[in-house]
Amino acid sequence: MPSPLVMFDLDGTLFHTAPDLMESLNHVIGGMGLSPVEYDDMTFLVGSGARAMIARALELRETEIASSEFEGLFTRFLEHYSASMPGTSQPYPGVVEAMDRLAAAGYALAVCTNKTETMARRLLKLTGHLPRFAAVTGGDTFAVRKPDADHLHGTVRLADGDPARSIMIGDSINDISAARRAGIVSIGVPFGYSETAMTELGPDHIISHYKELTPELVGRLLNGS
Ligand SMILES: O=C(O)COP(=O)(O)O
Ligand SMILES: [Mg+2]
């Protein structure tokens, strides 16, 4: 029988990455002569991958560019972000201990993010966490990404899991909607990057600190109680 699986979103859930993402984004838009975005804008900018982040930042600055120029901006972003890693990005308080507890109790762990898979793996590798995960999938791993249910289903498959014994933990509407569509139990964290309050997104459970993420809680949620 496959191990039960706990999947984590990355930006705003597993790691606090917004300051580094913002620096690389501002490097790119600053190069175009646009004024930098501010930290508070990140809740609106992060969550659907770097292309969406750049497009939303241009929208915020009311700037239109030719579509042929867009890939160049994306490449500049990835080069800067990759070269700066791991920067100041760190796991949220208590999540490393929570992952240790879950692994000791027999849970497999995975990452399901809309970052590119290469960037996600690089950050996890440089911070020493990559070996924990049975699967790491990004916004470009499959033909679809969160909020599409198949991003979660694909991650469960690569981790040799079973959707009925899997949980998705996330900070944004993309995570909670994808889980709902996939028929996968969700846990929301309110400290990440979301424009909408987690209580409004309606996950199956909300934790406000990772000390609440115990094998008992996950077991209870998987049993529907
Ligand atoms: O960087 C992004 O926009 C995607 O981030 P995610 O890890 O929250 O899916
Ligand atoms: Mg997120």
Q: What angle do CA 110, 97, 210 make, to 5 degrees?
A: 80
Taking the centre of ligand 2 as the mean of its atom positions, its distance from the CA of residue 164, in whole angstroms, is 22
Mark whether 47 and 151 lie in a shared domain. no
Mark whether 12 and 23 lie in a shared domain. no
* Cα separations in angstroms, 58 against 68, 191, 212: 15, 26, 38
Question: 20: Cβ below 6 Å to ligand 1?
Answer: no
ipTM of the prediction: 0.95
CATH number at residue 70: 1.10.150.240
Which residue is listed with tokens 């709902």?
Answer: 180
Q: Please check whether residue 169 is in contact with residue 15, taking contact to mean a CB–CB distance below 8 angstroms.
A: no
Which residue is listed with tokens 């899991």?
Answer: 161
Which helix H or strand E contains 151, and what residues bound it?
A: helix 149-158
Range of the domain at 131: 5-16+90-222
Question: 147: Cβ below 6 Å to ligand 1?
Answer: no
Mark whether 215 and 199 lie in a shared domain. yes
Residue 11 assigned to a binding site: yes
Verify whether residue 100 is a known catalytic residue: no
pLDDT of residue 2: 87
DSSP annotation of 85: T
Mark whether 43 and 153 lie in a shared domain. no
Mark whether 55 and 106 lie in a shared domain. no
Mark whether 113 and 190 lie in a shared domain. yes
How far apart CA 219 and CA 189 sit, in angstroms, is 18
- Total domain count for the chain? 2
Taking the centre of ligand 2 as the mean of its atom positions, its distance from the CA of residue 10, in whole angstroms, is 6
Mutate to test the pocket of ligand 1, among 48, 89, 177 (most ligand atoms within 8 A of CB): 48
Question: 115: Cβ below 6 Å to ligand 1?
Answer: yes
Identity at 175, one-letter amino acid code: D
Q: Please check whether residue 136 is in contact with residue 117, taking contact to mean a CB–CB distance below 8 angstroms.
A: yes
Which parts of the chain sit beneath pLDDT 70? 225
Taking the centre of ligand 1 as the mean of its atom positions, its distance from the CA of residue 49, in whole angstroms, is 5
Q: How many CB atoms lie within 10 A of CB 97?
A: 13
How far apart CA 38 and CA 17 sit, in angstroms, is 14
Mark whether 126 and 76 lie in a shared domain. no
Question: 46: Cβ below 6 Å to ligand 1?
Answer: yes
pLDDT tens digits, one per residue of 163-183: 999 999 999 999 999 999 999
pLDDT of residue 1: 82
